[in-house]
């Protein structure tokens, strides 16, 4: 089964997207497969809204393992089944917490196993007036590496917030020749385009 891996910095909305996109495709209850960094696998069944309030948090490094949902996309007369995988947020340097480091290593390792990589940004943060750091090194390197490994596209998330348009522009002017989809994991804006694009890839 093809894997579409969502990667990006902490708190950009990866988990929110995983769950919202599942809801968008019609799921109400989901089974989340969790793969921890030491290799064990287990499954959690939840109502979607319960999973959302449990797994989506405003603090960084919430997700510390790979968690995935199997999704069905209508293609032609039939369906295509693929695995949408959420991962741990990436940072530039070395994290002091060994558990988070292991999760980051696991995420990087997962890139090689994915057939599609969706690289997510927080467009609202990038575009906000007080944010001067711009697009960081890890995102630049991720871009360079991931597009060698898989079909690659960018999700500019949190488009429902003010400033996001500016962030989107920054993303588009930094990363050339790759598809960039403005979305909101909150309002599901832009999901139609993502769905169409992913259907062609998986």
Ligand X SMILES: Nc1nc2c(ncn2[C@@H]2O[C@H](COP(=O)(O)OP(=O)(O)OP(=O)(O)O)[C@@H](O)[C@H]2O)c(=O)[nH]1
Q: What residues make contact with other proteins under the rule CB under 8 A?
A: 37-40, 90-96, 98-99, 101-102, 104-106, 108-109, 112, 137-138, 141-142, 144-145, 148-149
* Closer CB to other proteins, 8 or 182, in the complex: 8
What does the CA dihedral 118, 119, 123, 127 come to, rounded to 10 degrees?
-150
**Residue 56 in the binding site for ligand X (CB under 6 A):** yes
Residues in region 58-97 near ligand X by CB under 6 A: 58, 60-63, 89
Q: How far is the CB of 160 from ligand X (least distance, A)?
A: 5
Q: Which of 11, 37, 67, 106 binds ligand X (CB under 6 A)?
A: 11
CA angle 151, 152, 156 (to 5 degrees): 150
The reply to whether 127 sits near ligand X by the rule CB under 6 A is no
The Cα 183–Cα 42 span in angstroms is: 30
Kindly state the DSSP code that residue 135 receives in the 8-state scheme. S
Please, how many CA atoms are within 13 Å of residue 199, restricted to the half-sphere of its CB? 15
Q: What is the C-alpha to C-alpha distance for residues 30 and 44, in angstroms, rounded to an integer?
A: 8
Between 57 and 96, how does the x/- string for binding to Mg ion read (CB under 5 A)? -----xx---------------------------------
Q: How near is the Cβ of 34 to other proteins at its closest, in Å?
A: 13
How far is Cα 11 from Cα 132, in angstroms, rounded to an integer?
18
């Amino acid at each position: 089964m093809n894997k579409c891996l969502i990667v990006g910095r902490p708190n950009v909305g990866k988990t929110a997207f995983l769950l919202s996109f599942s809801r968008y495709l019609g799921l109400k209850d989901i089974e989340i497969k969790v793969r921890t960094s030491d290799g064990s696998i287990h499954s959690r069944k939840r109502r979607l809204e319960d999973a959302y309030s449990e797994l989506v948090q405003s603090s960084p490094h919430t997700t510390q393992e790979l968690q995935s949902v199997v999704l069905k996309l209508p293609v032609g007369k039939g369906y295509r089944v693929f695995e949408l995988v959420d991962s741990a947020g990436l940072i530039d340097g070395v994290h002091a917490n060994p558990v988070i480091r292991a999760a980051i290593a696991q995420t990087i390792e997962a890139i090689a196993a994915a057939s599609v990589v969706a690289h997510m940004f927080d467009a609202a943060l990038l575009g906000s007036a007080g944010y001067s750091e711009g697009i960081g090194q890890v995102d630049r390197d991720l871009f360079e590496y991931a597009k060698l490994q898989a079909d690659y596209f960018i999700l500019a998330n949190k488009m429902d917030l003010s400033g996001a348009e500016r962030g989107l522009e920054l993303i588009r002017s930094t990363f050339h020749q790759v598809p960039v989809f403005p979305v909101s994991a909150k309002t599901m804006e832009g999901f139609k385009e993502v769905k169409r694009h992913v259907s062609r890839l998986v």
